[in-house]
Amino acid sequence: MSAPEVDPLQRHRQSYARLLAAKSGVSTQHQKVIDAFATVPREEFLGPSPWQMFSGFGYVDSVSDPALLYQDALVSLKPEAHLNNGQPSLHMASLAVLAITEGETIVHVGAGTGYYTAILATLTGPSGRVVAYEIDEDLAVRARANHSDYAQVELRHQSGTDGPLPECDVVYVNAGATAPLEVWTSALRPGGRLLFPLTPAQSAGYMLLVTRTAGGAFAAQFTSGAIFTPCIGARDDETGKRLSEAFARGSVAKVRSLRYNTTPDETCWFAGADWWLSTAPPTHP
């Protein structure tokens, strides 16, 4: 009896997952996340070779060996639009923070061609659901084809900034916004989590984790630095400029809650048009 065929890239995926875990500080407490990165074949979501990879000094053309995709590097999805398959270590750290459990419903905004959508689907499992939004038509078509084997994934070619979104346990946004849109937080069930990049006009921003409490308030904390392509429909230039100043002041660790449609008080860390971040714990409306 012959031995089962072994995927020659599986060893590279396993090493890649261990590398990402070490780089992002993700421990075996989040083994499910590490295993998902060690399982989902990245090359199946990036289009045909050769690929363009970012080396730190620019893009390297004509990468044809799929084994080289298993490193912590950006891969171009649509060069003319400057759209990439994002930094794997940042996504591993983010998914560890979200602590997705089997059977949860996840909204993924900015799916690209679906690599991280497939990892989300792996984490929630066949009893869960992932509703993925991609505004770029070409990427959406590719993502829908890439998820043909994932029955729990629904790909929608539309903006993830327009509501209403499906009621869900997790909203994971992969494009930089200047505000925590209410269309995202209003979709969350009690205990639900929103994680998105709050990004300024220039330079890096931070991933902001927002958790809906049982009483309907929102706890908030910054988790890690982040740079993302802009989120169409979720940016305001003036707010972006003021965010640059706020991040330059530091003290992001003081943020503890998100408030909507109330007057900022002395605990305000930053205020947008109809929302603000507070250094005080969440209070129930």
Q: What is the mean pLDDT of residues 58-84?
A: 88
Residue carrying the six token digits 């709050």: 198
Instruction: Provide the mean pLDDT of the chain.
Output: 94
Tell me what pLDDT residue 259 has.
98
* Alpha carbon 163 to chain centroid, angstroms: 19
- 134 touches 112 (CB < 8 A): yes
Q: What is the mean pLDDT of residues 84-88?
A: 95
Of how many residues is the chain composed? 285
Question: Would you state the structure tokens that stand for residue 220, as one six-digit string?
Answer: 């908030």
Tell me what pLDDT residue 68 has.
94
Could you tell me the domains of the chain? Answer: 10-278 (3.40.50.150)
* Whether pTM exceeds 0.85: yes
**CA-angle at 128, arms to 100 and 110, nearest 5°:** 70
Tell me what pLDDT residue 117 has.
98
Q: How far apart are alpha carbons 225 and 183 in whole angstroms?
A: 24
Tell me what pLDDT residue 213 has.
97
Q: How far apart are alpha carbons 131 and 157 in whole angstroms?
A: 11
Q: What is the mean pLDDT of residues 212-241?
A: 96
Tell me what pLDDT residue 284 has.
73
Cite the beta strand spans of the chain per DSSP E: 51-54, 59-63, 75-78, 83-85, 105-109, 129-133, 153-156, 168-173, 188-198, 205-212, 218-226, 257-260, 268-271, 275-278
Q: Identify any residues that bridge with 278 across adjacent strands, giving them in sequence order.
A: 257, 268
Contacts of 243 (CB under 8 A, 6+ apart): 178, 198, 199, 200, 201, 205, 270
Predicted confidence band of residue 5 (pLDDT cuts 50, 70, 90): low
Question: Would you state the structure tokens that stand for residue 67, as one six-digit string?
Answer: 């084994």
Tell me what pLDDT residue 253 has.
96
Q: How far apart are alpha carbons 133 and 143 in whole angstroms?
A: 10
Question: Would you state the structure tokens that stand for residue 129, as one six-digit string?
Answer: 């659901």
Tell me what pLDDT residue 74 has.
93
Percent of the chain with pLDDT over 70: 96
pLDDT per residue as tens digits for the range 133-185: 999 999 999 999 999 999 999 999 999 999 899 999 999 999 999 999 999 99
Q: How far apart are alpha carbons 162 and 159 in whole angstroms?
A: 6
Q: How far apart are alpha carbons 132 and 107 in whole angstroms?
A: 6
DSSP-derived 3-state class of residue 34 = helix
* Beta-sheet strand order (sheet of 83-85): 59-63, 51-54, 75-78, 83-85
Q: How far apart are alpha carbons 215 and 284 in whole angstroms?
A: 6
At residue 154, what are phi and psi to the nearest 5 degrees? -120, 120
By C-alpha distance, which of 90, 156, 168, 85 is closest to 124? 168
